[in-house]
Structure 1
Amino acid sequence: MKQITDTILMVRPVNFRMNEQTAVNNYFQKKLDKSNVNSLATEEFDTFVNKLRDVGVKVIVVDDIKEEDTPDSIFPNNWVSFHSDGEIALYPMFAENRRKERRLEYFSKLEEAGLKINNIVDYTSAEEDDIFLEGTGSLILDRVNQKAYCAISPRADEDLVIEFCEDFEFTPVIFNAYQSVKDKRLPIYHTNVMMCLAEEFAVICLDTIDDKKERKNVVKHLKMDSKEIISISEEQMHEFAGNMLQVQGAEEKFLVMSARAHRSLNVEQVKTIEKYCKILSSEIETIETCGGGSARCMMAEVFLPKA
């Protein structure tokens, strides 16, 4: 069982903009008054993909469909996850216009790349009951130790987390995480903006876990699995310093993040990360501002076996 992969699925945007349906509980999103938002986002996307490919990461790019009007399709990790036993999970999405992002035809691209799909586990009927669990946005998977960390929110239902864990044989590590919005503590919409789990370390904003017992429990699990904890501040989290993903390049491992997240890190944090792997960062300011998601959200990790 591996924690990181060298194969990533990414979706090239055609209708990217601030999604008004997700802005209700994604407090990272902002509207940009520019007419060329999609072309700026596409430029950032292409540069990012090239940087990943340059270090030997296998990036399978699929194109979004203009007619569907799916402004957040650039973030595929919310609707699908790929597992080493050939299973695929499909997830129920909070925003109605995000449900159209789930396109099974993308999977033929993976099969063309020589990967094997054995089964699809479909949780999407939960949408009918207004129950949601947004993929590896909500679930931070420790694939080696079979643990699923999850911050409960309107987009991550506790019972569905437990159901996923039973189906995929993970142990749930469930907690609540909050951010300050206009003097209120409100739930963080996705766990992966406050936490990143790599092979030997975790980048996490512990300050968002207001309940001391819950915080202690998360730390206990990370230490139990010998993860070095790199704490980030809430301020750094708002620069997307929690939204990172470790990937395997041709010869080296990389922690992938946005340029904005990279700039927010202090010398000590960078030094600790670089003990374990190199940092690869790319400028995705338009995507972050309008989408309220960053580098990690753009990459759906592919762990499927070879056919």
Structure 2
Amino acid sequence: MSLLSIQAPAAVVMIRPHCFHPNPETATDNAFQRSGEIRSHAEGASLAAAARDEVSAAAAALEAAGVRVHVFDDYGENQTPDSVFPNNWFSTHPGGHVAVYPMHSINRRRERRTDVIEMLKTGYRVQDVIDYSGLEHDDVFLEGTGAMVLDHIARIAYAARSRRADPVALERFCTHFNFEPMCFDTADPAGRAVYHTNVMMSVATEFALIGLDLIQNERRRDEVRKRLLESGRAVITLDGSQIGNFAGNALELSGKDGRVLALSERAVSSLTAQQKALIERSAQLLPLRVPTIEMAGGSVRCMLAGIHLAQR
């Protein structure tokens, strides 16, 4: 097994939140979110401390596996409860390219920070930064690698249509970054569209995890499965319960001893023995404990902004 893969970055950015809580601005379309009202300051502080500790422990586990982790602290000055999910506001790409994205919720737009971009420019070879955030003025949104799941090998951008993944912005991104857009409509058992593509699918080097039953159109569902198989990947189909337990919200990374699949303990527990065996043919499972952060409707993949750039 090769240690390196264009699909599996060897470094990530993480944000350690100090004022974390489920974001009321995102609750309307995020069916994964548990947004119970915080009843007291002490309760809010306890929740934020738990989330902060979960990020610190996850970063340490990733570093122990040989993944480079750049951790930035968010002290809450800008009132950014979802800052723990940086993959939504920027992404990086081989050749030295960085993209900055338009965000649907107003308070999530405040998550964008220049110090992260400056760190990338200082430590990695960055040729350009393409900023799409101006599309927010036209109510056009594309929330990064939450809205898109990118196949860096076959150059396909998979995207579940939602108000956070506008086809116009997707087309613009794909033109600039040389991806083929592949959109599809989704619905959960309650008829709700999936808010972010990366909670229902993850594309790794040799396999893909995907909730195919969420794709409404049977013909499109077959096309997505076919494209994944044509890329040489094993397709591991996830059921609704596994999707609800964040089994699709995983990210393959390159570590010191080969590739690892980072996902939550809850997600790993939902996988069958056969699914785990298929994954472990090419990547070691790396379960991370993030129950507090999962209250906000995202899990491990959302916490990791992969760095697909060459080091200086």
Scaled by the length of structure 1, what TM-score is found? 0.96
Structure 1 partner of 2:10: 6
Q: CA deviation at 1:272?
A: 0.9
TM-superposed deviation, 1:306: 2.5
Shift of 1:283: 1.1
Matched, 1:117 2:126: yes
Say if 2:24 and 2:35, in contact at 8 Å, map to a contact too: no
Report whether the alignment pairs 1:126 with 2:135.
yes
SS at match of 2:247: coil
Q: How does 1:51-70 map to 2 (within 5 A)?
A: 51-70=61-80
Runs (4 or more) in structure 1 with deviation over 4 Å come to none
Matched, 1:150 2:159: yes
For residues 170 and 8 of structure 1, what CA distance do their matches in structure 2 show? 22
Q: Does 1:300 align with 2:305?
A: yes
For each residue in 1:239-275, what CA deviation from the matched residue of structure 2 results, as whole angstroms up to 9, or x when unmatched? 0000000001112210110000011111111111111
Q: Report the CA distance between 1:62 and its aligned residue.
A: 0.9
Residue 175 in structure 1 maps to residue 179 in structure 2: no
The aligned amino acid for 2:241 is E
Check if 1:185 corresponds to 2:194.
no
- Does residue 165 of structure 1 match 2:174? yes
SS of residue matched to 2:280: helix
Q: Which amino acid aligns with 2:210?
A: I
- Taking the aligned partners of 1:14 and 1:179, their CA distance within structure 2 comes to 33
Matched, 1:81 2:86: no
Ranges in structure 1 where 5+ consecutive residues have no aligned partner: none
RMSD of aligned residue pairs (Cα, Å): 1.2
| 1:97-112 alignment runs, 5 A limit | 97-112=107-122
Residue 284 of structure 1 and its aligned partner are, at CA, apart by 0.5
TM-score (norm 2): 0.94
Shift in Å at residue 65 of structure 1? 3.6
Matched, 1:267 2:273: yes
Contact kept in structure 1, 2:160 and 2:196, CA below 8 Å: yes
Report the CA distance between 1:92 and its aligned residue.
Answer: 0.4
Q: What is the alpha-carbon distance in structure 2 between the residues aligned to residue 202 and residue 50 of structure 1? A: 26
**Residue 207 of structure 1: SS of its match in structure 2?**
helix
Return the letter of the residue paired with 1:169.
Answer: N
Correspondence for 1:29: 33
Pairwise mapping of residues 284-299 of structure 1 onto structure 2 (< 5 A)? 284-289=290-295, 291-299=296-304
Deviations 1:187-209 (A, max 9, x none): 10000000000001000000101
Q: Point out the more displaced range, 61-70 or 11-20.
A: 61-70
Q: Take 2:121 and 2:73, find their aligned partners in 1: how far apart are those partners?
A: 16
How far the C-alpha of 1:48 sits from its partner, in A, is: 0.6
Partner secondary structure for residue 153 of structure 1: coil
Instruction: Extract unaligned runs of 5+ from structure 2.
Output: none
SS in 1 for 2:80: coil
Q: Which residue of 1 aligns with 2:244?
A: 238
Cα distance in 1 for partners of 2:10, 2:269 equals 25
Using the alignment, how far apart are the partners of 2:14 and 2:186 within structure 1? 27
> SS in structure 1 opposite 2:310?
coil
Quick one: distance in 2 between partners of 1:156 and 1:31? 22
What's the offset of the Cα at 1:75?
0.2
**Cα drift, residue 109 of structure 1:** 2.3
Q: How does 1:189-200 map to 2 (within 5 A)?
A: 189-200=195-206
Distance across 2 between alignment mates of 1:14 and 1:142: 33
The amino acid that maps onto 1:150 is A
What secondary structure, in the 3-state scheme, does the structure 2 residue paired with 1:12 have?
strand
Give 1:124 shift: 0.8
Contact 2:236/2:275 (CA < 8 Å) preserved in 1?
A: yes
CA contact (8 A) 2:66 2:257 kept: yes
Q: Does residue 24 of structure 2 align to residue 20 of structure 1?
A: yes
Q: Distance in 2 between matches of 1:147 and 1:211?
A: 19
Cα displacement string for residues 43-84 of structure 1 (whole angstroms, at most 9, x for unaligned residues): 111111110011110000111142111000000000000111
